[in-house]
Amino acid sequence: MNIKILGMGCCNCGKLYEATQESVKELGIEATIEKIEDMAKIMEYGVMRTPALVIDEQVVVQGRIPKKDEIKKLLQK
- Which among 13, 19, 24, 55 is annotated as catalytic? 13
CB 53 within 8 A of CB 8: no
- Which among 1, 8, 9, 10 is annotated as catalytic? 10
Q: Is 13 assigned a catalytic role?
A: yes
* Cα–Cα distance, 59 to 7 (Å, whole number): 13
Dihedral over Cα of 49, 41, 11, 55: its sign: positive
Q: Is 11 assigned a catalytic role?
A: no
Q: Just list the catalytic residues.
A: 10, 13
